[in-house]
Amino acid sequence: MLEDLARLLPTIEAGALDEAAVYRRERAGERADARRRRPGAQLCPICGTSAARFLPFGLFGRPNARCPGCGSVERHRFLWLWLARNTRALSGRLSILHTAPEPCLAARLRPLHGRRYVTVDRFDPAADLRADLAALPLPDGRFDLVISSHTLEHVADDRGAMAEMARVLRPGGTALLMFPYDPRRPTREDPAIDTPAARMAAYGHPWHLRIYGTDVVDRMRAAGLEPTLVDSRRVLSGHRRRRHRINANHLFACRRVVG
């Protein structure tokens, strides 16, 4: 996706390509690199691919990042290991709502959970539901788990989206939320930053509307979600982070509270 964005940036900044068009292209075109590679020191916990090095990824070609088997990058592998350790998502059957579903995760989760696994996306024609996160066409308390990774920073009404995720979770259910997060600062956002070029300069991405900071927990609590911040460096040993190639990363494990 981001390699594509780097190439397309001049067109995006000229206003000739919008978010929906780019994300449709990504969803339609994303596929794993099928080339055969020799096993090595890196191991993808999602698809089991072993490689001497992973592929470069991102606007600046971050080295050793993307799994050649499933296309996962560091944050997907962190999310996966957290799911494996802390939920029954990989060992039992749960009702799961997955927003803007990453193909590397969806390919594993759907066979495990069947029709209890539901995907939602604003743009992706392959998603089970085409909907805005702030207005989910789903009943209250339907899901055990919501997975939403690198989605909320694209949503104007992110407070409404969090409230909707809480609403569709059963009491005690879990929302696993990831987004660009700076643990040293408050959230940076400004409605006046409203062009792809300005957002690129402010947030490092043409369609991100903010970089979350420490106050994000207040938004979660207001939505009925009680967050626990999980830092990859605190929960994974150095060996595991090197083996699975996981960088300094954060996720929020939020419990649905009622009342």
Binding site for Zn ion (CB under 5 A): 44, 46-47, 49, 67, 69-70, 72
Q: Of 78 and 252, which has the nearer Cβ to Zn ion?
A: 78
Q: How far is the CB of 70 from Zn ion (least distance, A)?
A: 3
Q: Of 107 and 257, which has the nearer Cβ to Zn ion?
A: 107
Q: What's the token pair of residue 231?
A: 């830092």
Q: How far is the CB of 244 from Zn ion (least distance, A)?
A: 10
DSSP character string of 73-91: -HHHHHHHHHHHHHSSTTT
- Integer Cα distance of 212 and 98 in angstroms: 20
Q: How far is the CB of 38 from Zn ion (least distance, A)?
A: 15
- Integer Cα distance of 123 and 27 in angstroms: 9
Q: Of 76 and 219, which has the nearer Cβ to Zn ion?
A: 76
Q: How far is the CB of 50 from Zn ion (least distance, A)?
A: 10
Q: How far is the CB of 7 from Zn ion (least distance, A)?
A: 24
Q: Under 8 Å CB-to-CB from 63, ≥6 apart: which residues?
A: 53, 56
Q: Other C-beta atoms within 10 Å of 65: how many? A: 19
Sign of the CA dihedral running 61, 64, 69, 73? negative
Q: How far is the CB of 110 from Zn ion (least distance, A)?
A: 16
CA distances from residue 29 to 24, 25, 33, 153 in whole angstroms, order as listed: 8, 6, 12, 23
Q: What are the beta bridge partners of residue 118?
A: 97
Q: Of 47 and 163, which has the nearer Cβ to Zn ion?
A: 47
Q: Of 122 and 245, which has the nearer Cβ to Zn ion?
A: 245
Q: Of 55 and 161, which has the nearer Cβ to Zn ion?
A: 55
CA distances from residue 11 to 19, 71, 95, 132 in whole angstroms, order as listed: 12, 25, 40, 26
- Integer Cα distance of 248 and 221 in angstroms: 25
How many Cα atoms within 13 Å fall on the side-chain side of residue 183?
9
Q: How far is the CB of 44 from Zn ion (least distance, A)?
A: 3
Q: Please list the alpha-helical segments (H only) found in 30-174.
A: 74-86, 103-113, 158-168
Q: Of 67 and 109, which has the nearer Cβ to Zn ion?
A: 67
